[in-house]
Amino acid sequence: MRILVVEDDKDVAGFVVRGLKESGHVVEHADNGRDGLFLAASEKFDAIVLDRMLPGGIDGLHILETLRGQKNAVPVLILSALAAVDERVKGLQAGGDDYLTKPFAFSELLARVEALGRRGNSEGPVTRLKVEDLELDLLARQVRRAGQKIDLQPREFRLLEYLMRHAGQVVTRTMLLEGVWDYHFDPQTNVIDVHVSRLRQKVDKPFPVSLIQTVRNAGYMLRAEPV
């Protein structure tokens, strides 16, 4: 993916740029709003990581609104120290696709950026998801693995659907909380791990190959080979 990082803090920017490059992405970096807006508007990116508070008179939301005003639909992940719910809402209303508050774990940022980039590519509604021998029929709400029917609770179905839609990508616990349960808070207990382990019992346990992988310090990933 080709990713633009607009962030003025040298340490944070260096860390994010290095991390994204190590994960195989092409990264451009702007350390002020003016350059950020220029790059974002003149070149094509698969995703933009955008800090909200930037020097140079043009802040992140301004860049975002300008881009959306030009019908530029590039996925944008807002990165901000402004953590209040209202701020988050403001960021999403301005046209942001996702909102990550500082301080953040790089794994969280990477997972979210990759999820955004992927979302930009998928076109049209999907009715069937397939990973290896695991099949999920969104219309019939049925799951089969190696031809064998698996009975899932509605919530387990949605959890698996989310994992399959992001197959091959790291999915963090927070992403699952937000994407599957629509919870925007930290539920303290490791509820997500319990739910995933439940799902594993049904989807992986009876079969020779495990598909739901745990990614250390990050989250989960659905794919055939262990991480």
Partner 1 sequence: MIGNILLRSAGFRFAVIYAALLVASAFGLAFFLWWSTAGLLDRQTEAAIQTDAESLWEHWLEDGMRGLVATIEDRVAQNIDDDAIYLLVDPQGRRVAGNLERWPTAVAEAGQVFELQLQRAGMRSMARVQRFDVPNGYHLLIGRDIQLRLQLRALLKNALLWAVTVVAVMAAIGGLVVRNLFRRALHSVSVTAAAIAAGDLAQRVRHSGRGDEFDQLADVINDMLDRISRLMDGVKQVSNAIAHDLRTPITRARTRLEDALLHAATREELQAAIERATADLDDIVRVFQALMRISEIEAGSRRSSFERIDLAPLLRGVEDMYGVVAEEREIALAVEVPNQLNAYGDAALIQQAVANLVDNAIKFSPSAATVRLSAVVGPTGIEIVVTDQGPGIPKADVGKATERFFRGESARSTPGAGLGLSLVQAVAQLHGGALRLEDGTPGLRAVLFLPQADDAT
Residues in touch with partner 1 (CB under 8 A):
83-86, 101, 103, 105, 155, 181-189, 191, 194-195, 198, 217
d(CA 31, CA 48) in angstroms, rounded, equals: 13
Q: How far is the CB of 105 from partner 1 (least distance, A)?
A: 7
**CB-wise, 84 or 140, nearer to partner 1?**
84
**CB-wise, 101 or 214, nearer to partner 1?**
101
Q: How far is the CB of 194 from partner 1 (least distance, A)?
A: 5
d(CA 149, CA 134) in angstroms, rounded, equals: 10
Q: How far is the CB of 103 from partner 1 (least distance, A)?
A: 6
Q: How far is the CB of 36 from partner 1 (least distance, A)?
A: 26
Nearest partner of 12 among 90, 116, 101, judged by Cα: 101
DSSP-derived 3-state class of residue 179: helix
DSSP-derived 3-state class of residue 165: helix
Helices (H), the chain: 10-22, 33-42, 60-69, 85-93, 106-121, 154-165, 173-176, 191-203
The DSSP code sequence of 83-127 is -SHHHHHHHHHTT-SEEEESS--HHHHHHHHHHHHHHHH--S--S
DSSP letter, residue 178: I
Q: How far is the CB of 160 from partner 1 (least distance, A)?
A: 14
Tokens encoding 60: 């992140």
